[in-house]
Structure formats: C-alpha cells, structure tokens
Structure 1
C-alpha cells in the first residue's frame, strides 16, 4: 500500500485544518508534556467532579418547568405561602400489627407516641468515606418531620408521613434515609409492630440497592467487552488497554468540567445526565481512538521506512479533521436543546456539549501523544505490521456494495422500513416508577393501595390564592371542593387548609389511580383543571399541582420542544456537513440516511418496549434524545466513510473502485467502534431509572444500525450509484501519485484491513 497525499482538504486547507494540524503536531513533538498535563487535569477534575456532582443536580421534575406552566405556578404558591421545601422528600411509613389483626385504640396511641418520639430524634448522617472528603461532603444530619397521615378504613394499618430534606440522588441523603428507616423499624419492633416504607426516596433507594450488583457486573462486562474486542482486532496488549485508560482519564476530566461549568453558571443537572454523559464519553472516546489506531496501523504498514512519530503526526492530523467534524456535529446537535422550554432538555445540551468538547481536545492532543510515545509498540506482540492481511469480510462487503449498489440500497431500505412500521400506535409514557425488581417499597405501596385510593401517598393539590386582597375562608371556597369530589377518578377530597394570613388555600385530591400513570395525567389535565376553572371563586386564582399535574405540563412542554428542536438540529447538522464535505448532494444523502436510521430505531424501540414488554409506551424523553444521539453519533461514522470515499476518489480509476477501497479500509474501524459504542449505551439498560434504560437500549440499537447498515451499506451504495457526482458542485480533483509511491493497478492492489479480526 502506498503513502498517499492527504485529501483535497490538505491541498486547500481550511483555517480550522491548520489549527488541528498545529495541535496534533505539537502533541506528537512533545508527547510526555501533553500526557503529564492530561494526567494532572484528569485526576484533579475527576475527584472534584465526583464530590461536587450532587450539589449541581436536582431530582424534582417540576423544577425544570418554566414558571408559566400551571403546575409550576402551584409549586410557587406552595413554597411562598405554605413554606413548602422544594427539596423535601416525603416518605410514607406503614405501621401494622405483626399478627395481622386490626389496630386497636391502644395500638393507635402507641403509634402516636412512637411517632412523637421519632419527630424529636436528631439523626446523624452515617459516615461513609466513599462519598468523598468530609469537608466537601454535605452534612444531611437533620430531625425528620414525622406526622400521622391516615388510618385504613379496615384499621389494618396506619400511615405516617416522614419528610427528609435534600437531593434524593445524593448518596449522603440516601444513607441518612437508611438510618431513619432502620431506626424507625427498630422503634416499632420494640412495640411489637411491623413497618413498611414507600414513596419516591424509599423506592429509589430500594431499587438502587436491588440493582447495585447487576449494575456493577454489567459495568465490568462492558469494560471487559471493550478490552476483548480490541485484543481480537489488534492482537495487542497496549492497543487493548491504552484507549480505555486514556478515555477514563479524559472522561473524569470532562465530568469535572461539566460540574464546574454548572456551578459557575448556576445550572442544575438532571440526575440521569451524569450516567448518560459517562457512556457517551466512553463510547465516542474509544471510537475516536480506534479511528486513529486503524489508520495508524495502516500507514505503518505502508511506509515502514518512516519514523513512527512522523506517521503518528500525519495520521493524527488527517483523522483529526474527520474527528473534529464528527464531534462538532454532536455539539451542534445538543446545542439546539438551548431553545427547549423543558429544563431537563435544556441542561442536557450544554452538559453533553462541554463533555464532548473536552473529549475532542483529548483526541487532538492526548491520543496523538500516546501514539507518538508507544509508536510500533502499540501493536506489540502482534506481527500485523510486518505482513498484509488476507482479503476478508470488509473487502467482500466493499466489492458487493460497489458492484451491486441498487441491491444494497433496496435491502437497506427494506430493513429500515420494516422497523419503521413499529411506529404505528406509538404512545408516550410519563411514568417514573423504575426498576424491574420487586422491592420492599413496591410491596408496601401495593398493600396501601388495596385499602386506600392509589394516590393517597402522592396527592394532587389545588392551590387557591386571593387576588382581591380579601381573606380566604372555607365558606368562600366551599363550591370548589364539592365540584372536585364529583369528578370521576377523584377518590377523596381533603379538607381545605388555609395558610397563616389566609391569603392562600390548599385542597388535596386523592386520586383512584397512581399519580405516575397516564390515567392520572389525563385526569388532572382534563376534568380536574376544568372543574377548577369553572368553580374558582371571583377574586382568586387557582392552580393544580402534584406529580400528575407536573407530568401533564411536561407532556405539553415536550410536544412543543419536539416541534422546534428536530428541525433546528437537522439544519445545524446539515450546515456542518456542507462545510466539511463541500458539496450539496453528499450532505443531503447523509441526512436522509441518518433520518431513516432514527425513525427505524424509534420504531424498533416501540416494538420492543410497547409491544413485547407491554410497557405503557416509550418514555417521553426518548424521541428527542434518540434523535440527537442517533443522528449526531451516527453521523460520526457517515463522516468517516464519506471522508475516505472522497479521498479515494481523488485517485485515478473508476468511482466504484474507490468506494470499494473506502469500505475495505474503513469497515473494520466502523464495525469495531460501533460495537464498542453500542456496548457503552447498552450498559444503561440495567440503570434503575426507566427513562435511562430505554435510552440505553434504543441508542445502542440505533448505533448498530448506523454503523452496519447506514455507514457500510446504504451510504457507500448511494456513492457508488451516483459516482463522483455525489460531490457536486465541487468534485474531488484526481491527483497524480508521487513518483516511487504509485499505487498498483486496482486489479492487483492488495486488500488491506479487510478482516474484522486479523
């Protein structure tokens, strides 16, 4: 194989190309300085990010809604007029006799006495060195608010309400809850009674405890899979472990950078954002390193007479251009979330953008430096550098796509079309109950539901505020609770509670359906709000709050954001492709391809979750996040193959032969990278959060479709069918090879990197 001159971009470099070459050139000339700098930054930022992460996350979905939404206005009244703490976590404690008999009057007095004692017991946060240095960890020690709630109609149990304040995702607060739970349980055991605990925090902790082992095992399996793939592909120890160590170091630095930016700007992150960022960084980081390794190995074989450091500089500059374009595509796609109204989307965009930019910087500095330091030893003890691999699957795939492009196109479209059919009847699921495990919290909730309305532990609340400066009274508001009691689906209406200065009132509604189910969302958004609008007294305004109301408003916000973000993201990605490929037709081909990949992935996800697993629907965040991930990450592979097709078409010979060579050279890198990235996202499938589970599965599937169907079959086949016309109006110029490096005739040219595993 010959050492070829760089592609057209190298002959007419853009300003950003010069910056990339300057960065990669400096890194390969001063590799140890670059490695040392990244080591210091990575360790420092990683430690800082882990400790401060939970200071910049918030777990309440309603906090992400704009103030103009009804449930957000209700929360504002609750905080300002009733002193509600936005960080309060309500826990429902079930207390019953151990013999199963109904509670007696003495039993109830005992429960009240124990509750009174617990309400005055200050609970210290258990010391856990795993949470970080004590001077940086927030001290959640507090006295829980404990109060009687309700007695079951059959007197089989009594419910207590316990309130803990703090970020429910923080391990510190979770440890405090465990201490409160154990102390409460012991206090009632001493009185001969049993207890059960449920509610958001209780369910979250129980689910995390149940899935802890699975999550750990899956994490190790994911790392093991990445190492195994690299060993099989490169037959090298360093090539297997160096990318993983480098990406872990950079990932820590990126996570710390995200936390730092969040603290400086006051942005609050969603609890699921860190785990999503983690797999994104592992996936794209290893992908970018693999792109470099494959091209590095290819050029070391081609020019054994050149110093390895020189080759690393040339390869890093060349591949760095494609990597930069791919990374900026992801950044641009997620930057569009800045126009979203739902805060959960709006904070995800900057977080992913910052982390990807950090990984891009590492791809242009740390990774080239590691290549320059390891040189040919990167592939030790493999002898692959000393021999040309035999023609393999990648070579046969390239020949097939080039010879029969129409067949390849029709086969790809048939597969994508079949998966897209799954979109028929798609439903959005706004439920937040997580985990497939039968936890103690879930069992307690089921026991309560058998005797009381399903929404008793999480009521919807109507907040009424006086606007005429006249004091509110129960008599003035009596028509409203009466009307609400007549709404079908409202099991019970609580008494009207007035605040101290009688400027606001709260009416709790206990629904007959779980507050996190779609029925509750439709009930609150429709009949309940209609009844409130018709029966709110003159001189007052009313708003409906609570979990069901929040999800109803989130549904409205998401629908609005989908209509805006989709076209904006598509336009930005298309503009980046236009600048990179310097063509009008090629970007259109790529955008059509990734759009087909998106709808096929969403259709397949609907089939899997909604039909096969019988879920209420696909999670409400999935379409938008999936669009961004599949389109942005899938475009990475399309950029890599397109860039190589353009480079190959600059050499003499038929366009279809150039396509075949491009697939032959690039397929191993795309296949390996696709599997690694899919494995990274697939690891999210065991996450306790249901939305994260679906994102992990769906994105992994979308990445596999992008890598194996779009990038290696559909896009090359379209390029083979359109020929050099795909680059209209600026077709690549055919360059003459340098003397003494002339490539052999196409028929005699050996297949390189043709095997997926050498």
Structure 2
C-alpha cells in the first residue's frame, strides 16, 4: 500500500501537487469562514450531563432562557472624580441603561456589517446585530459606582461577536459621557476580548519568529533555500486541508470544538509535518549521494517506500494515543483527541503522496545552491555520537538513565493547579474588576448560582426558600446572597451567591464544591430539586472529570501503543525498551516542569491538564522518533556488519534528522510558552522540553545504547540476520562496512520509471 502510494505520486507528481494545492487552499478558506460556527467557548457544555454544574446549565436554559451561548459582562458606571453618585446621576444611569436595552447594536465598520446581497454566499453570512439585555445590578456600598449586567446572544469565540461587543462598548461610553459619567467593562466576555487584543501583537511576532527559526534551522542543515521553504509551504497547504476536514466533520456531525483545538492542531501539524518531510529529505540526500547516476524520481520512490513505512508506524502511534481521548468523560478531551488524530492522518497521507511528489519534481534542485551532494560528508557530531554509543553502550545507557531519573525526582510533592491561570496583561477589564473588588465581593461580576426547580405542575415560592437563603448567607466566604428570582412560570427560582473570592480561584472552587453544595443538599425544601452552577462550580466539576480521565486514558493509551509496536516491530523485547524509555522521559519532563513552575517560580502547582497533554505528546512523539531510529537500526543489522557497527551507522545517518526534527517541533510547541496565559506557558515549556529529551537523549543515546548492548537479540523472536557472502565469515564481511558506506549500491528502479 505504501509503495503503491509513493510510486503513483512519483510517477504523476504534478497531478498530485496540483490536487493537494487546490484542495488545501479551498478547505483552508472554508475552515476560516466556518470555524467559529464549529467552536464552543463554554467549558460547562463539555461536562458529562450527570455533573451538578451541567444540570444547572440545563436548568438555566430550560427554565430561565439563559443559554450558554451568550456573552455576559458587567459595566461599571461612576463619576469621573470618584465621588459618590448623586440622585441625578442615578436617574441618568437608569435612563441610559433603559435606552441601551432598547436599541439595536450594529457593527461600527460598514465593512463588518453583514449583507444579504446576491453577491454573497447566504450560509456564510451572519447578522450579528441585536438588542442587548441590559439591567441595573447593584450599587457599591459607598455609592461610588453602579453596576449594569449585559448579555449579548451569540457564540463568544466568533470574531463577529467581538466586533459587536466593541460597538456596544463604544456606544455605551459615548452615551454615559454625554451625562458626564465614566464607564468600565469587565466579566468573562470583556476579559476574553481585552486579553485577545493584548496578546495579538505578541502572538503574531511569535508566529513569525517560529517560522523564521524553522527556515533558519533547515537552511543551516541543508544549505539550501528550497529545502527550507518547500517543506514549510507544503505543510501550510496540508494544514489548511486538515483543518477544513476537521471543521467540516464537526459541522456535519454536530460536534462542538473546544477553543483550544484549533491552536493545538496548528502546532501539531506544523511540527510533525516538518518532521516527516525532514525524515524524507535526509534519506533522499543520502541516497542521491550514494547513487549519483540514479534518476531522481526513482530515488524519490525508493525513499518514499523506505521512510514511508517508518513514518506510517510513527503516525499511527500518535493517532492511537490521541484516539484514546475518545473514551474520556470530559467533552473537551473527547473532541481534541479525534481532531488531532484526523489531522495526523491527513498529514500522513500527504507524507506518502505530496512530499514524494515534490522530491520527484525538484530532484537534486531541492538542495540548490548547496554542493553537498558532490562530496562525501564527514561523520561530524552524529558520527562521533554513534561511535561513542556503540563502543561504550553501558556507560551511555547509565548516563542517559541517570539524567532522566534525576529530572523525574522533581515530581516529589507535585500538586495539581486547577486554576485557569489568568493573564499576564493588565487589561482594562482586569482594572475594572480590581476596582469593583475593592468595594464589593470579588465574585460579584461572576456569581455562583443556585437553581431550584419544582416538579411538573408545582410552583416555587420565595417564602419556601427563605431558610435556604439564610443558611447560604452564613457560609464563610459568601459575601452576599441575592433574593430569590422566579421565572415567568413560577416553577423555578435562582439565588445568586457573590463570593469573596474570584470565581476562577481555588478558594472559590473549594467553597462551591464543599460548603455551598452541602448546604444546598441539606436545606433545599422537600419536593424541590436544586443544582449549583456558575464558573466556580463548573471548574470544580471539571477537576473531578479530568482526574477520572487521567486514570482511564493513561493505561489504555499505553496498551494501544504497546500493541502497535508489537505488530510493527515484530518483536517482544524492542517494544518493551521503547515503552520504558518514553515512560522515563515522560516522568523526567513532568518532574522538570514541577521543579520550574511549582518550586522555582512558586506557582500553586502544575496545570491540571499538563500530565495528560505531556503523556500523549511526549510518549507518542517520543515513540515516533524511537521508531525512526529503531527502523534504521534494524535495517542496518540486516546488513553484513556487527550489531554495534550497525548501531553506529544508524545513529550517524539518522541522528541529524531526529535532532533537526526535534528542534523544529520543540520550537513549534515552545511558541505556546510565550503567550500571556500561564496555563498555556506550562504546556508549551513542558512539551518543548519533552520533545528535546525524546530526540537528543532517547533516540540518539538511550535506545541505540540498549540496541548495542542487546545486539540482534533486541528483535527476538524475529531477529534480522546479517547478509554475508558465500563462505564468508560475518566478522570478515563486517570489515567492509565502512567502504560500503561510500560506494553506490544498485537501485531497483520501478518499471514505470
């Protein structure tokens, strides 16, 4: 199958390139337009339905018409001089708020205003204009400001909704300025937009620097602009196709994508896409040197078939690892896993078709203007590393194990941080929230809510909830309890709790999941049903769901990877070596992250999703690199040389590809560490470090050292046997290995070529 795909692609390269180019561009354009419709920003919607906060969300939707697909924020209104509001000021606030709640908000820029003219595609046009829901919430005890609660209906990740918020903010600021009052905006939606606006310049610069680093590394390695730019351009096209497939699949199946999914897919595709192209390029250059008279298309077909097998094995390992997220209880993981798996499969298809086609078309011009093909390369660092590992495998193995073990010891005392991390930017929303917190409970802009419902045909009365409200008010950490608010039918009520801690803090989650829920369970009137919702409750339930998923996904993913390795390597011992090595690398990476963030930087702990993300990426991608070096070691051991010589030769030829790929992929993930969100910083740093350890410690030192120690026995029960000449002793034949390295070997050219 692999040989058939690569053979067809190298026989008809221009057709393959044209098909991928057109498909990738079209799918990328469609994905860009439709992506917001496929995403869901509300974490609570990804929780299992039997969780308390998920039940609260359903009650809010069914009984109060409060959908999760809405942007909620708070507007602070006060005097410019900071003095208490006068009676006239309060009248003006009420009048302006009423006016704001009766006027339709439209886009500020005519270019952003939706149109339904015949020259636009109807299903891509969205009318974001609407009448916002505005109400006066409360006034500060010192009367220095009044708060308005505002809600805009729509998907909060949609750029159109962001423009609508900006239009409302500008109109609100102007309206209150006319009556000489100042405004401030805070809350989840306002903070999300302010943070994105603050991060956008940094993210753009980081993206440019990341792409520049990839190009620079490839230029330094290959001394060629073509070899540096063509892989990157191909990966961008394939990435567009993969994103389009994922978005289209999500819309067709009615699946919501988590907001982190697009950025994660982008990083994965750039990283592994460039990695796979590098594996092909290094082998292509090696064979062109050995066979200067061979047709480039024949060499491209041979490279595609040889390296394609290792790439397929590596890609399937990543797919299997992420597919296990489909069994997670948290919906965000259920979506992320299959999405990444699909993206990797699309990149695998491109690696077996588009990339060999590009090699066939460019041939030796791929390495222009470098003249490296005309001379025999020196062994260099890779050659010396191979010699050291093969001559002193036990020392190399012990040194690598000691390094990883020392880092793994950093996990001692590890704690999980279930906070959302906040932001490092001082945004306007953050400043407004700080001003509110100085006068009111910190959670006033994002309260926890108790929803009480009556069975079909019954009603809820405020008097019946008096005891519950009184008990909730006595809880330490609850700053204020609102009066019960009934819905229109009178069969449900809501009680807002304004906590003294911000909703995304650990203190708020502990308070809601403990004393608040216990009080609700003990004092809800008989015959009524109550659920606790809000941001703090959602994240408290999220921590429980993730903890359960960690215990389930880890063993299942490890078992699947082990099974794939057994089938692909046709060995019992080799998969054990590979799995033990990547397991140690995972522990080392998590330990190093604990040392840096929890101990050195004095954070509350490591981010709660970090162990799962690290396990999937470090184990899957670490296995990816291990498969590449193992495949080359096995190939060399099938030749007429001693096992240790085969290991030295495999490291010499494969280490540069793995090292370059590791740097590129680590840079890709490391770009996440430059963002302002501390949670993303931890994921970016840890994943980048884990990939570097996988590339330079595992694949270049530890695994080759183990192979040198075990010899051909590592492949038991199907051991490769060295091919020798008739009547020739293996040791004698092995002496020819170095000479064979520099002489062309015959190339089996497919008949069609």
Instruction: Report TM bin, short chain.
Output: over 0.9
Alpha-carbon offset, residue 708 of structure 1: 0.7
Task: State the distance in 2 between where 1:371 and 1:131 align.
Answer: 46
1:422-459 deviations in whole A, cap 9, x for unaligned?
22222222323533111111111111111110111111
Task: State the distance in 2 between where 1:751 and 1:158 align.
Answer: 81
Q: Which runs of 5+ in 1 are unaligned?
A: 1-18, 753-758
RMSD, aligned CA: 1.9
1:156-212 deviations in whole A, cap 9, x for unaligned?
111111111112221111111111111111211222121111111111111111111
Contact residue 598 and residue 630 of structure 1 kept, 8 A: yes
- Match of residue 527, structure 1, among 485, 501, 515: 515
Task: State the distance in 1 between where 2:113 and 2:264 align.
Answer: 21
Change (3 A) 1:569 1:126: farther
- Match of residue 77, structure 1, among 38, 46, 59: 59
- Match of residue 627, structure 2, among 631, 636, 639: 639
Task: State the distance in 2 between where 1:167 and 1:522 align.
Answer: 29
Match of 1:16 in 2: none
Match of 1:117 in 2: 99
Change (3 A) 1:652 1:178: same
Match of 1:36 in 2: 18
Change (3 A) 1:468 1:48: closer
Alpha-carbon offset, residue 688 of structure 1: 5.1
- Match of residue 199, structure 2, among 199, 211, 215: 211
Aligned partner of residue 443 in structure 2, secondary structure = coil
Match of 2:71 in 1: 89
Change (3 A) 1:131 1:255: farther
- Match of residue 47, structure 2, among 57, 65, 82: 65
Change (3 A) 1:47 1:559: same
Alpha-carbon offset, residue 126 of structure 1: 4.1
Aligned partner of residue 455 in structure 1, secondary structure = helix
Alpha-carbon offset, residue 233 of structure 1: 0.5
Change (3 A) 1:327 1:170: same
Match of 1:103 in 2: 85
Contact residue 468 and residue 540 of structure 1 kept, 8 A: no
Match of 1:612 in 2: 600
Alpha-carbon offset, residue 141 of structure 1: 1.2
1:306-332 deviations in whole A, cap 9, x for unaligned?
111101100110000000111111111
Q: Which runs of 5+ in 2 are unaligned?
A: 115-119, 727-732, 744-753
Task: State the distance in 2 between where 1:253 and 1:692 align.
Answer: 26
Contact residue 425 and residue 676 of structure 2 kept, 8 A: no
TM-score by length of 2: 0.95
Aligned partner of residue 475 in structure 1, secondary structure = helix
Which is worse superposed, 259-268 or 180-189? Answer: 180-189
Match of 2:736 in 1: 745
Task: State the distance in 1 between where 2:86 and 2:594 align.
Answer: 51
Contact residue 83 and residue 144 of structure 2 kept, 8 A: yes
Task: State the distance in 2 between where 1:468 and 1:115 align.
Answer: 36
Match of 1:12 in 2: none
Alpha-carbon offset, residue 119 of structure 1: 1.1
Which is worse superposed, 333-342 or 481-490? Answer: 481-490
Match of 1:414 in 2: 402
Match of 1:663 in 2: 651
Change (3 A) 1:645 1:129: farther
Contact residue 235 and residue 381 of structure 1 kept, 8 A: yes
Change (3 A) 1:660 1:27: same
Higher RCO by CA contacts (8 Å cutoff, separation 6 or greater): 1
Task: State the distance in 1 between where 2:157 and 2:679 align.
Answer: 15
Contact residue 390 and residue 751 of structure 1 kept, 8 A: no
1:38-75 deviations in whole A, cap 9, x for unaligned?
01101110000110001010000000011100111111
Change (3 A) 1:166 1:294: same
Task: State the distance in 2 between where 1:221 and 1:704 align.
Answer: 19
Contact residue 743 and residue 749 of structure 1 kept, 8 A: no
Contact residue 389 and residue 751 of structure 1 kept, 8 A: no
Change (3 A) 1:451 1:329: same
Aligned partner of residue 476 in structure 1, secondary structure = helix
Contact residue 404 and residue 585 of structure 2 kept, 8 A: yes
Contact residue 640 and residue 737 of structure 2 kept, 8 A: no
Contact residue 409 and residue 713 of structure 1 kept, 8 A: yes
Residue 583 of structure 1 pairs with residue 571 of structure 2: yes
Change (3 A) 1:713 1:130: farther
Task: State the distance in 2 between where 1:453 and 1:78 align.
Answer: 23
Aligned partner of residue 492 in structure 1, secondary structure = strand
Match of 1:9 in 2: none
- Match of residue 494, structure 1, among 482, 488, 493: 482
Match of 1:467 in 2: 455
Contact residue 162 and residue 193 of structure 2 kept, 8 A: yes
Match of 2:558 in 1: 570
1:721-753 deviations in whole A, cap 9, x for unaligned?
111111111111222479xxx98624656699x
Contact residue 202 and residue 675 of structure 2 kept, 8 A: no
Residue 200 of structure 1 pairs with residue 182 of structure 2: no
Aligned residues: 732
Change (3 A) 1:612 1:166: farther
Alpha-carbon offset, residue 356 of structure 1: 0.7
Match of 2:161 in 1: 173
Aligned partner of residue 507 in structure 1, secondary structure = strand
Contact residue 79 and residue 181 of structure 2 kept, 8 A: yes
